[in-house]
Chains A and B, each alone.
Chain A
Amino acid sequence: MALDIATVRRVAALCRIRVSDTDLSTMEAELNEILHWVEQLTELDTDDVLPMTRVVDVDLPMRDDVVSDGDCADKILVNAPASAQGFFSVPKVIE
């Protein structure tokens, strides 16, 4: 598997990362090196191997249905560039 410049540009756009045209080819080369390195795994036969989801034997922890958090609008909004009447205020987005 290899990435071309167009794909790198697209992935960057999807991630909202601005990449200049000059940096795109460097990034293409670096990403392809990473992919090739990971691709070594295909040399192994993993047909009968389950995907490993944990290194120690633990299950997904669960919590009870109890309200234990929230009621802290000031904390939630403290880093917002703009807020109004308890809401986040962002440049108008409308579909």
Chain B
Amino acid sequence: MVDSSIDSWEVVIGLEVHAQVQSRAKLFSGAATDFGAEPNCQVSLIDAGAPGMLPVINRHCVEQAIRTGIGLSAEINLFSVFDRKNYFYPDLPQGYQISQYTKPIVGYGSVQILLDDGEIRTVGITRLHLEQDAGKSLHDQHPTQSFVDLNRSGIALMEIVSEPDMRSSQEAGAYIRKIRSILRYLGTCDGNMQEGSLRADVNVSVRRPGGDYGVRCEIKNVNSIRFIQQAIDYEARRQIQLIESGNAVQQQTRLFDSATGSTREMRTKEEAHDYRYFPDPDLLPLELDPDWVEEIRLSLPELPDEKKERFVREFGLSDYDAGILVAERDTAEFYEMVASGRDPKLAANWVIGELFGNLNRNNVEISSSPVSANSLGKLIDLVVDNTISGRSAKEVFEVMFSSGRDPLEIVSELGLQQLTDLSDIESLVSDVLANQADKVLEYRAGKDKLFGFFVGQVMKASAGKANPKIVNEVLGRLLKG
């Protein structure tokens, strides 16, 4: 809820997420989908809208949509239809986008999002449909011309439409992160927002709590979570100010300007939104074999919610730690490798504390972590078997992170092995006690707090290498006399 001068308002948010399907070839043509190719080099005559070309659907893209639908706990429609959405724009050579209108491939579903206060909220998914992406226009290359690259034209997109179930920009951010996480677990979209693989149209309206929905504005094509949140906050404030100053919100399509963090109205002709959908006569309805859908259902990986539950149940992790570890598939897999055959809580502490801390500070993705799961595991083993102290381990980790080297090698090079031999420690302790005979008398006379002093002396005598636990045990025994 947004506080304002006169009253409090409720912000109502729905998102249309456009997720690029992970596939080698396009939805209806055999042209490649790789990001960053030379302009117009991944375009077939179908994608260019050449006359007489016929679309043939990519089976894998259909499978990806079904997989995503199942991952969103949604109904899979065994009968769906492709329609033409008609409009003119230079990056749409066909003059229409092949999409799905009244009969999408995936129907109603839902996802759970975790809010900052720990509350879990369900956000409804209205539908998911398959459609073609358009080409890309560059407006800043020439003073009077726009340049058009059709490489993206015809790439398969899944449009995932949410119910208007979100009430703040934070919830919208949590929703996008959850959708992205599910898509990545499923391997159906790489979720890369910088490259445009995941972008969202954001619908925002405001109302008095419990009242009727207000008039909404749609902010088009926002491509980062931070921008989505900024756009929502700006748009909510704008609408509240309009209403409170006695004006009405106009239903509009708006653009987000990341330079100013504001939204502005799109210069669009009023007729532009008459898309005159009709079934594409080039394509038969998409009819799915229920056995195929079942086969896909059975092949689904463990998804973040299930994995989190398992981490809590099997590994005894806290909800919070488990939530962090499962948010990304790569992270969860890394953690499981580290935890395998080891104390899972200790592994979680190392992964979340040292590793994530260093990755974040250096802006490195876990997939290119200089410390592999295997070597982090070895480092933990060195602590557990008392070869090195926990404090030295952190030092070794820093070296591992900057060099990618093996922990044992670093330990021997830096001479960090702990002294654990009982008789060696006993002789160290005896020497210390002999040198501090007066303090020993004070201790035995009841000055308990001198114990820490003796520990410090022994550690000093061992150049910090004595195992503190053994030192404590030996000191306790020898001080009794």
Contacts and interface: CB of A to CB of B under 8 A. Distances in A.
A14 B276 contact: yes
B327 interface: no
Interface string B42-69: 1111101000000011111110000000
Interface string B253-284: 00100000000001110010010100100011
Tell me the interface secondary structure of chain A in the complex: loop
A67 B25 contact: yes
A70 B284 contact: no
Contacts of A89: 142, 145-148
A88 B146 CA distance: 8
Given A64-B59, A65-B23, A68-B30, A87 B285 contact: no
Given A65-B60, A77-B40, A93-B137, A10 B271 contact: yes
Contacts of B266: 95
Contacts of A61: 56-57
Contacts of B32: 67, 70
Contacts of A1: none
A60 B38 contact: no
Interface in A51-73: 53-54, 58-73
B60 A64 contact: yes
Contacts of A64: 58-60
Most buried by B among A59, A62, A70, A92: A70
A74 B139 CA distance: 22
Nearest to A79: B50
Interface in B106-148: 137-139, 141-142, 144-148
Interface string A72-95: 110111000010111111111111
A3 interface: no
Interface in B81-116: 86, 88-90
With a 10 A CB-CB cut-off, give which of A60, A68, A86, A91 has the most chain B CB atoms. A60
Contact of B58 (A65, A82, A90, A94): A65
A66 B44 CA distance: 13
A89 B141 CA distance: 10
A16 interface: yes
A66 B89 contact: no
B145 A92 contact: yes
Given A89-B147, A91-B145, A54 B284 contact: yes
A67 B154 CA distance: 13
A29 interface: no
A94 B56 CA distance: 32
* A65, A85, A94: most-surrounded residue (chain B CB, <10 A): A65
B345 interface: no
Contact of A93 (B31, B90, B150): B90
A85 B255 CA distance: 29
Contacts of A10: 271, 274
Nearest to A95: B266
A95 B60 contact: no
Interface of B: 23-25, 29-32, 38-46, 48, 56-62, 86, 88-90, 137-139, 141-142, 144-150, 255, 266-268, 271, 274, 276, 279, 283-287
The list of the 6 closest CB pairs from A to B, nearest first, reads: A65-B60, A68-B30, A70-B31, A87-B147, A69-B30, A69-B44
